[in-house]
Amino acid sequence: MLKGIISGVIGNFVYSSLIKFINLFRPHTKSVFEKVLGSWIGHTVQTTDVSGKDVIVDLKVDFHWTISGIGGKAIVTGRGEPVCVKIKGNINKANYFVLEYFNTDNLTNFGNMILSLNSNGDKLQGVLIGFGNVSDKFIYGRTELKRS
């Protein structure tokens, strides 16, 4: 029984990794990934302030290839000390990226972004929802990044 469970877990891991790897080399997927690789700068307009006012948080993001899709890191500034977060995700549809972000130090910042790449390949726009350490609550906002 244990042998069956282990082989099932390993089989699922190998299958999902293989599918993700194959998806990287589909012509439309690869070209979209190539368009988003590199450095981006922009901001997220968060509606988290207790007064209901929007808060602008600046972002500098670097995307790179990973075996399972896209990875990267971002420097978030604008509310207290700069925070570094890791990013991982994949293409959901032709020009739509679903990304998860999380920091690796003692702060609690995590969440998800859904971004779309414009037809020129120089702008990513979308939404963010997550948990922020400065506000100590859920955050949401609109994100816009431009190639730097």
Spatial distance between the Cα atoms of 131 and 83, rounded to a whole number of angstroms? 13
Structure tokens at 84: 């570094």
Structure tokens at 108: 């609690």
CB contact set of 103 (below 8 Å; sequence gap of 6+): 83, 84, 85, 86, 109, 110
For residue 18, pLDDT over 60 is answered with: no
Neighbours of 124 (CB within 10 A): 24
pLDDT bracket for residue 62 (50, 70, 90): very high
- For the chain, the domains span 2-147
Spatial distance between the Cα atoms of 147 and 60, rounded to a whole number of angstroms? 10
Spatial distance between the Cα atoms of 21 and 24, rounded to a whole number of angstroms? 5
Residue 15: predicted pLDDT: 54
Q: What's the whole-number mean pLDDT along residues 113-135?
A: 90
- Name the average pLDDT for the chain: 80
For residue 3, pLDDT over 70 is answered with: no
Q: Which of 19, 21, 18 is nearest to 30 (CA)?
A: 21
Q: What's the whole-number mean pLDDT along residues 93-108?
A: 84
Q: Which of 63, 107, 114 is nearest to 82 (CA)?
A: 107
pLDDT bracket for residue 10 (50, 70, 90): low
pTM of the model: 0.76
For residue 24, pLDDT over 70 is answered with: no
Class of the domain covering 2-147:
mainly beta
Between 80 and 89, residue with greater pLDDT: 89
Neighbours of 84 (CB within 10 A): 13
For residue 80, pLDDT over 90 is answered with: no
Q: What's the whole-number mean pLDDT along residues 91-108?
A: 83
For residue 31, pLDDT over 90 is answered with: no
Rounded (5°) CA angle 31-37-43: 125
